[in-house]
Chain A
Amino acid sequence: MNNIATVIIGAGQAGLAMSKHLADRSVEHVLLERGEVANSWRTERWDSLKLLTPNWQSRLPGYSYEGNNPDGYMDMKQVISFLDKYSERIAAPVECQTNVHSVKPVDKGYLVSTNRGEWQCEKLVLANGACNIASVPKFAADLPSDIESITPLQYRNPDQLPDGGVLVVGASATGLQLAMEIQASGRQVTICVGEHVRVPRVYRGRDIKWWMDVAGVLDMDYQEVDDINRARRVPSLQLAGSENRDTMDLNAVEAIGVRKVGRLAGIRDGKAMFSGSLANVCALADLKMNRLLDTLDEWATENDMDRKVEEPHRFEATRIDEKSTLGMDLAAEGIKSVIWATGFRPDYSWLDVPVFDRKGRIRHDGGVAEVPGLYVMGLPFLRRRKSSLIDGVGDDAKILSDHLHSALYSKAA
C-alpha cells in the first residue's frame, strides 16, 4: 500500500498539466497510467487523424509547440512526442502500465486499486479522458448481423472495412473526416446527419481557432453560459487538421460523392430509417455558424483588426436536396459496414463513489466533484469552452490545483 497526498488517474495532457501545477505547489502526487503517456492518442485514434487545433495552440503550463510550422496540425506521432517531451521536461511521476481496477472512498480519501498495487490518497484527480467509450445508440443492435459495425475507437483506415457501401452515422468532426477518407477509398459513403456544429477552417485568412482564441470565445467561462449542461453536450466542431486548411463541411463531403441523409432514427427489418429533420439541422448549423462569424467580425472591428485580415464574407448555405431519402434497405443498397461516429463518453466503471447523476455523469462544479477530495478534468466545457483542448487543460489545472492545495492544508486549521 502506497500512501500519497494526491493520485492523478491518466497521464495525458490533463493529467500532466495537473502534475505540473501540483509540483509547482509542492503537492506530493503520482500519475497512474494504464499504458504509456498519451495512451489514448497512441492506441485509440485512426491513422490519418491530426489535431483540430493548429500547432501554436498546443500550449501547456510552461511548455508549448517549438517547431517551425505554427499553423500546421500535429499528427498522432507528433502529439505523442509532444506530450512525451512535456512529461520528461516536468519530470512527471508517472506509473505506467498501471491499470486502475477500482476506486473506493475510505476515511479521509480514496483507495485506488490497480494491477500494480494500491494507493491511498486524500485527493484524487480523474484525468482519464472524455472519449474512453464510443457512445452507440441502442438500436445499433438491430443492425443485420452480416453488416459490420465498428466504432471510431476501433477504426484505423479504410482498408479494414469490407468492400461495398458504408453508412457513417454522425456528422461531427469524426463522422465527416471518416466519410471523406472512406469515400476517397472507393466505397460509397452515406452519412447520417443530426445536429452538428459547422465552422470554416479559415475565416478572413485566419484559422477559425485563432479567431475563437483572440475573440475570447474559447475562454468563455462555464458560469457565464446560459445552459451549461447543454453547452457540455454540444458536438465537436466540423473540423479537420489538413495541411491545405480546407474547410470540411457537408457541402465539401457531398462534392466528393458522399450521400447525405437525416439522423438515423432506427433500423427495422434491415431497413434504416432517417429523420425528416435534415433541412432543419442544417439550417440550425448555418445560422449558428453565421452568429459566430458575426461575433468575430464585431470583435475585429472593435479591436482595429479589420485592415489586418481579409474582408468579411459568408459561406454558401448547406445545400439541401429536396429528395433526400428517408429509408434505405441496407442490403439492397450494398451497405457492408456501419461506423458509429455518434460521440464518446468517459469510462468511470471502476469508480465506486456515489457521485454520478442519473445519466452516469459525474456531478461537479467546474471540475470540483460533489464529494470531498475528488476532481475531474479534460471534459467538454469543464470550466471553459477550451477545457477539452490541449490548450485548455492548463488554466483548469491551475484553478483546480489551487483548490486542491488549499483543501489539503486547510484541514489542519
Chain B
Amino acid sequence: MTGTNTENTADNGVNVEALIGAREALTEAPEAAQFKWRTSSKWMNGTHSKTTISSFFGLGEEQSRGKEFSVETDHPEVFAAEDNAPTPVEVVLAGLAGCLAAGVAAVAQHRGVQLRSVEATIEGDMDIQGILGIDEEVRNGFGDIRVQFDIDADASEDDIKAIVAQSQKRSAVFDLVTNPTNVFVNVN
C-alpha cells in the first residue's frame, strides 16, 4: 500500500545494503560465516552471577569490540534469593525480544516499510515443579512462550504480520528456543 517508490525512503536505522553485501560475500566464502559467541560468568553469591561479554570470533578472525558488557542474573525473593538482577530465564526472553525486534527492523527496511514504533511484550509459562524436582514429567524450561507485538508502521496489517513472521523465520534466538541444541559442559 505504500507503493514501490518508498524503498529508498524508509530509514529504520538498519544498513540493509551492508547486510546484503555480507550475504553475497559469505555465500562465496562460507568459512567466514562461522562465528563463535562467548560469555564469561562469575558466581557472586547465592543465586547471583555476573556475566561479562566482549570478544567473539567471526569473519575468519578474533573480533575485539574494545569494550565489555555485563549482564547480571539472580532470582527474586519468592525464591528466597536477593533479587539483585533478573532471573536467567528473563534474560532469555529479553534475548528473544531483542532478536525479533532487530529482525523486524531489518526486514521492514528491506521491504521499504518505515517503522514508527515497535513494542513487544513476552510471557513465558513455567511450571516450577520441574526445576524443584517435584514432578519428573514437568520440564524445567518454558512451556509456551507468547510474544505480543505492537507495531506502528507505514504498512497494511498483513504486511506487518508478514514482516514479523519473516523475522521469526530468520531469528537465531527464535530457532534456539524452538529447536534442540547439543550442549557440552566440562569442568576444569
Contact = CB atoms under 8 A, between A and B. Distances in A.
A283 B177 contact: no
Contacts of A291: 158, 162
Interface stretch (A38-46, A75-83, A272-280): A272-280
Interface in B148-188: 158, 161-162, 165-166, 168-169, 174-175, 177-180
A277 B170 CA distance: 11
Contacts of B162: 284, 287-288, 291
Q: Is the interface of A mostly helix, strand, loop or mixed?
A: mixed
Contacts of B158: 287, 290-291
B165 A277 contact: no
Given A283-B165, A322-B144, A277 B174 contact: yes
Contact of B165 (A265, A268, A275, A280): A280
Given A283-B165, A284-B165, A287-B161, A276 B178 contact: yes
A290 B179 CA distance: 28
Nearest to B163: A287
The 4 closest A-B pairs by CB, nearest first: A276-B178, A280-B168, A265-B179, A284-B165
Nearest to B30: A358
B10 to A, nearest CB: 16
12 contacts: A273-B179, A273-B180, A275-B178, A275-B179, A277-B179, A280-B168, A281-B169, A284-B166, A284-B169, A287-B162, A287-B165, A288-B162
Name the residue in B30, B174, B175, B179 with the highest tally of chain A Cβ atoms < 10 Å from its Cβ.
B179
A262 interface: yes
A266 interface: yes
Interface residues of B, number: 15
Interface string B27-60: 0001000000000000000000000000000000
B151 to A, nearest CB: 15
A358 B179 CA distance: 26
Contacts of A287: 158, 161-162, 165
B178 A277 contact: yes
A358 B165 CA distance: 29
Contacts of A288: 162
Contacts, number: 41
Contacts of A275: 178-179
B169 to A, nearest CB: 6
Contacts of A276: 177-179
Nearest to A290: B158
Interface in A272-305: 273, 275-277, 280-281, 283-284, 287-288, 290-291
Contacts of A284: 162, 165-166, 169
A290 B158 CA distance: 9
Given A283-B161, A283-B165, A291-B162, A262 B178 contact: yes
Contacts of B30: 358
Given A287-B161, A287-B162, A265 B180 contact: yes
A275 B169 CA distance: 12
A290 B159 CA distance: 11
Nearest to B168: A280
A280 B169 contact: yes
A258 B175 CA distance: 26
A377 B165 CA distance: 34
Given A265-B180, A276-B177, A277-B178, 6 more contacts: A276-B178, A276-B179, A284-B162, A287-B165, A290-B158, A358-B30
Interface string B73-103: 0000000000000000000000000000000
B3 to A, nearest CB: 14
A226 to B, nearest CB: 10
A246 to B, nearest CB: 26
B121 to A, nearest CB: 17
Nearest to A287: B162
A277 B180 contact: no
Contacts of B177: 276
A281 B165 CA distance: 8
A27 B168 CA distance: 51
Contacts of A268: 180
Contacts of B180: 265-266, 268, 273
Interface string A93-136: 00000000000000000000000000000000000000000000
A231 to B, nearest CB: 15
A38 B137 CA distance: 54
Nearest to A229: B27
Among B144, B166, B168, chain A packs the most CB atoms within 10 A around the CB of B168
Contacts of B178: 262, 275-277
A288 B30 CA distance: 30
A275 B177 CA distance: 9
A342 to B, nearest CB: 16
A25 to B, nearest CB: 36
